[in-house]
C-alpha cells in the first residue's frame, strides 16, 4: 500500500547519516550539499559527485550543523543574501554565484560557475566531462523527476496523499541520491493510480506560494473547504522537478545548461519580475483560478515579492489571496463563500 511505502521514506530521517555514508563508501562518491536545491546535479554527477539538499531536520537543529562536514564533502550556498543561509555561514562553505537572467548569457554564466566550483573544490576540469556519463546520469534524474511529476499530477486530481505526505516525497527526492530516492518513491505510484474517480468536490484550482513548506494544518484546511492546491511555488515543492530533458541528445551538455537557466528558482535567488515571466504569467495555461500567498515572518524575500505578484495576478484575472498563520481560516473561507455564490449564479 502507498501509505506503507511513504512510511519507509519517513524512516530515512533517523537513518539518514548511515544511508549517506554507506552510499558514499559503496559507490566511491563525493557529495556537495546546500540548504536549498539550486545547482544542476547532472554535470556534477558525470564526475561522480552527488548534489543534495540538506534535510530540514538537520537545518532546524544547530547542534547538527557541525556534523555536516562529516557527512558531506562540501557545503555550497548562493552568493545572494537568504534566510536559509543564516546558520550555514557559521561553518566552512563554498559560495556559488547565482547567474542573473535566463537564456544564452545565463547559461554561459552557469557553465562558468559550475566549472569554477568543480575546479576549486575537487580540482576537476569541466572540459574533461564524458558526454556518455552525462547522458547516463541525466537519464537517472529524468526518471526521478518524471515520477515526482506523475505523483503530483495524480494527487492534484484525486487528493490521495495528504499535504504532509506529498512534502515528504519531495524532501526524499531532494535529500537522497537520485537512484536511492527512486527506490523509495516509485512504489508510491501504483497504489495511488487505483482510484477511478476524480475529487468532484474541488471547484477552484490554486497555486500556493510560500517558502520551503506551509504548515500542514493550513494546507489541509484550504483543501478541506474546496480549494485544490494544484500547483505550488514553494522552495522545496514540485517546481524543483519541472526540468525535462532528452537524456539521449548528443547536445545534452548545452541543452541542460540552457534549460536550467530558465528555472524560476526562489525569491531570494531570482528577481520577482523574472519569476513572474517564468511562472505567474503562464498560470492561465494551467487553469489556475487563484494564487494563495502565505506570508512568513522569517523570510523577507518571500514577503517582499507578494505585493508585486498580487497586483500582477489581479491584472491577469487570477484571484490573489494573502494569508498568514493567524487569519488563514477567515480569508480562505470568505473567498470560498463568494466563489460558491458566483458559481451558483452561472
d(Cα 43, Cα 137) in Å, to the nearest integer? 8
- pLDDT of 10 higher than 50: yes
Quickly count: other Cβ atoms within 10 Å of residue 60's Cβ: 9
Residue for grid cell 485544490: 228
Domain extent at residue 316:
2-345
Residue 244 in this model has a pLDDT that exceeds 60: yes
User: Which of 41-50, 145-154, 167-176 reaches the highest mean pLDDT?
Assistant: 41-50
Name the residue with higher pLDDT: 142 or 4.
142
Please tell me the least confidently modeled range out of 63-67, 156-160, 310-314.
63-67
Q: Regarding predicted confidence, which is higher, 260 or 342?
A: 260
Question: Domain count of the chain?
Answer: 1
C-alpha cell at 240: 524543483
The Cα–Cα gap between 108 and 103 comes to 9
261-295 pLDDT tens trace: 999 999 999 999 999 999 999 999 989 999 999 99
Higher per-residue confidence, 211 vs 108: 108
Q: Which pLDDT score is estimated for 134?
A: 98
Of the candidates 203, 197, 198, the residue with the CA atom closest to the CA atom of residue 225: 203
Q: Looking at residues 90-117, what average pLDDT do you find? A: 95
For residue range 178-205, list pLDDT tens digits in order. 999 999 898 888 778 765 555 555 579 9
13-27: pLDDT as tens digits:
667 888 999 999 999
pTM summary value: 0.91
Mean per-residue pLDDT, 144-168: 88
Residue 324 has pLDDT above 80, yes or no: yes
Q: Rounded to an integer, what distance in angstroms lies between the CA atom of residue 49 and that of residue 338?
A: 52
Residue-level pLDDT at 5: 63
Query: 305: Cβ–Cβ under 8 A, 6 or more apart, which residues?
Result: 267, 272, 275
pLDDT at 95 over 80: yes
Q: Whole-angstrom Cα distance, residue 107 to residue 98?
A: 11
- Other C-beta atoms within 10 Å of 17: how many? 14
CATH code for the domain of 151: 3.40.50.11900
Tens digits of residue pLDDT in 35-85: 999 999 999 999 999 999 999 888 877 667 778 888 999 999 999 888 888
Nearest residue to 172 via CA among 2, 3, 55, 24:
55
Ordered DSSP codes for 321-340: EEE-TTTHHHHHHHHHHHHH
Q: From CA 33, how far away is CA 175, in angstroms rounded?
A: 9
What is residue 33's three-state secondary structure? strand
**Mean pLDDT score of the chain, rounded to an integer?**
89
Amino acid at each position: 500500500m502507498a501509505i506503507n511505502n511513504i512510511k519507509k521514506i519517513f524512516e530515512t530521517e533517523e537513518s539518514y547519516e548511515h544511508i549517506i555514508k554507506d552510499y558514499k563508501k559503496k559507490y566511491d562518491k563525493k557529495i556537495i550539499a546546500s540548504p536549498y536545491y539550486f545547482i544542476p546535479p547532472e554535470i556534477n554527477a558525470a564526475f561522480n559527485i552527488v548534489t543534495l539538499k540538506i534535510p530540514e531536520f538537520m537545518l532546524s537543529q544547530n547542534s547538527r550543523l557541525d556534523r555536516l562536514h562529516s557527512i558531506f564533502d562540501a557545503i555550497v550556498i548562493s552568493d545572494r543574501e537568504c534566510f536559509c543561509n543564516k546558520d550555514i555561514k557559521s561553518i566552512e562553505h563554498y559560495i556559488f554565484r547565482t547567474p542573473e537572467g535566463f537564456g544564452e548569457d545565463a547559461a554561459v554564466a552557469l557553465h562558468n560557475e559550475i566549472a569554477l566550483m568543480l575546479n576549486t573544490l575537487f580540482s576537476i576540469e569541466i572540459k574533461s566531462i564524458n558526454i556518455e556519463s552525462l547522458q547516463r546520469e541525466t537519464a537517472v534524474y529524468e526518471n526521478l523527476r518524471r515520477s515526482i511529476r506523475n505523483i503530483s499530477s495524480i494527487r492534484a486530481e484525486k487528493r490521495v496523499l495528504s499535504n504532509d505526505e506529498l512534502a515528504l516525497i519531495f524532501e526524499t527526492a531532494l535529500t537522497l541520491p537520485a537512484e536511492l530516492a527512486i527506490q523509495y518513491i516509485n512504489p508510491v505510484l501504483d497504489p495511488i493510480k487505483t482510484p477511478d474517480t476524480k475529487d468532484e468536490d474541488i471547484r477552484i484550482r490554486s497555486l500556493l506560494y510560500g517558502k520551503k513548506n506551509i504548515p500542514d494544518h493550513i494546507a489541509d484546511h484550504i483543501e478541506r473547504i474546496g480549494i485544490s492546491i494544484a500547483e505550488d511555488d514553494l522552495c522545496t515543492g514540485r517546481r524543483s522537478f519541472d526540468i525535462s530533458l532528452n537524456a539521449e541528445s548528443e547536445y545534452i551538455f548545452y541543452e541542460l545548461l540552457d534549460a536550467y537557466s530558465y528555472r524560476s528558482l526562489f525569491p531570494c535567488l531570482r528577481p520577482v519580475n523574472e519569476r513572474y515571466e517564468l511562472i505567474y504569467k503562464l498560470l492561465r495555461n494551467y487553469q489556475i483560478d487563484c494564487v494563495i500567498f502565505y506570508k512568513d515572518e522569517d523570510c523577507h524575500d518571500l514577503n517582499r515579492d507578494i505585493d508585486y505578484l498580487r497586483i500582477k495576478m489581479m491584472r491577469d484575472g487570477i484571484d490573489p489571496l494573502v494569508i498568514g498563520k493567524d487569519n488563514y481560516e477567515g480569508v480562505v473561507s470568505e473567498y470560498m463563500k463568494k466563489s460558491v455564490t458566483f458559481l451558483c449564479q452561472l
